[in-house]
Amino acid sequence: MSHRSINYSKPDQQSGQSPQIAIEARGLSKTYGGTKRAPAKLALNNLSLDILQGSIFGLLGPNGAGKSTFINILAGTVVKTTGQVSVWGADLDINPRQVRANIGIVPQELNIDAFFTPRELLEFNAGLYGVPRAERRTDDILDMVGLSDKAHAYARTLSGGMRRRLLVAKAMVHQPPILVLDEPTAGVDVTLRQRLWDNIRELNESGVTIVLTTHYLEEAQALCDQIAILDHGRILTCQPTSTLLSSAGRKDVTIALPSGAPQHWPEALVTLQPMMTEGFVTFRFDPARITVGAILTSLIDHGIEIGDVSTSEPDLEDIFLEMTGHMDKD
């Protein structure tokens, strides 16, 4: 896919200068008014974060964490209660129109008029954003998302994956420097998910800042430079992905036991709470306190026969569960 006509300059991450901020939120709160049947709900609670220009930023959290409220505030469909937001340098309170021009929202729902063709839909949306005809890049955008050959087909004839790509194209008609993708791969098969991942990476390589919400934690781990985890309207953590993954401070070692589990474990390993599964034992340990070698030596000294050994580090799902205490189901 070609991106030559839709380029954004990414910040110089090699320079000593501080990176520029694409989205800045300070003390952002939102309370939905109560009714006779339901009390008022605090959806966002004093949220503050910075999203760097040129990054792929993951916004994760269980249902009801506040992700949708945050996105809807950016989109202008929900009014914040308190706090400040700026998008690509435009203040939401002072210049909301410029904020909307600086951002493209790709919703989870496939809300596309079935009787529009992709080309008609993009032209219509460009008109809504006030893009002059001479400045519209409809054909370039369709090429970018791989829909050039479907430009004149009715939307109702497109596959689910094509419709998702069309939603991305629709959000790009005014060439925003920021694209928010709300659950972009929900309900799609593995092959299409990988293709959409490639699309997201290519968009980011062209300079577009990506904000991604997803239930697929392996997706966030594979794509995102930085991740924020929300729960009950508050940010539990906001760190570079590599830092977040290394922050768990523990590893797992799984060891085959050809003769089965012993009646008693070495005293030094009891605190590691050995977990047995079909001829294997797994120890979860802190590398700063004990090494794999020390664990193996302790087993051997205790007369326990050992076989194959493998180690693994916690993934994003483990960290998410530790922080929020639960996992959403699709």
pLDDT number for residue 323: 66
What domains sit in the chain, N to C, each tagged with a CATH number?
251-313 (3.30.70)
What are the CA-CA distances from residue 133 to residues 117, 127, 130, 263, 271 (Å)?
A: 18, 8, 9, 79, 69
Summarised one tens digit per residue, pLDDT across range 14-44 is: 444 445 999 999 999 999 987 878 788 999 9
Q: Name the percent of the chain lying above pLDDT 90.
A: 50
- Give kind and range of the element (H or E) at residue 243: helix 241-246
Q: Is the pLDDT of residue 216 over 90?
A: no
pLDDT number for residue 242: 82
pLDDT number for residue 125: 92
Summarised one tens digit per residue, pLDDT across range 131-151 is: 999 999 999 999 988 899 999
Write down the pTM of the prediction. Answer: 0.73
What would the two tokens of residue 33 be? 């008014």
pLDDT number for residue 2: 41
pLDDT number for residue 192: 79
What are the CA-CA distances from residue 8 to residues 29, 125, 307, 313 (Å)?
A: 31, 21, 54, 36
**What's the mean pLDDT when you consider all of the chain?**
85
Summarised one tens digit per residue, pLDDT across range 302-326 is: 999 999 998 876 666 667 776 666 5
H helix and E strand count, the chain: 11, 14
pLDDT number for residue 248: 63
User: What amino acid is encoded at 141 in this protein?
Assistant: I
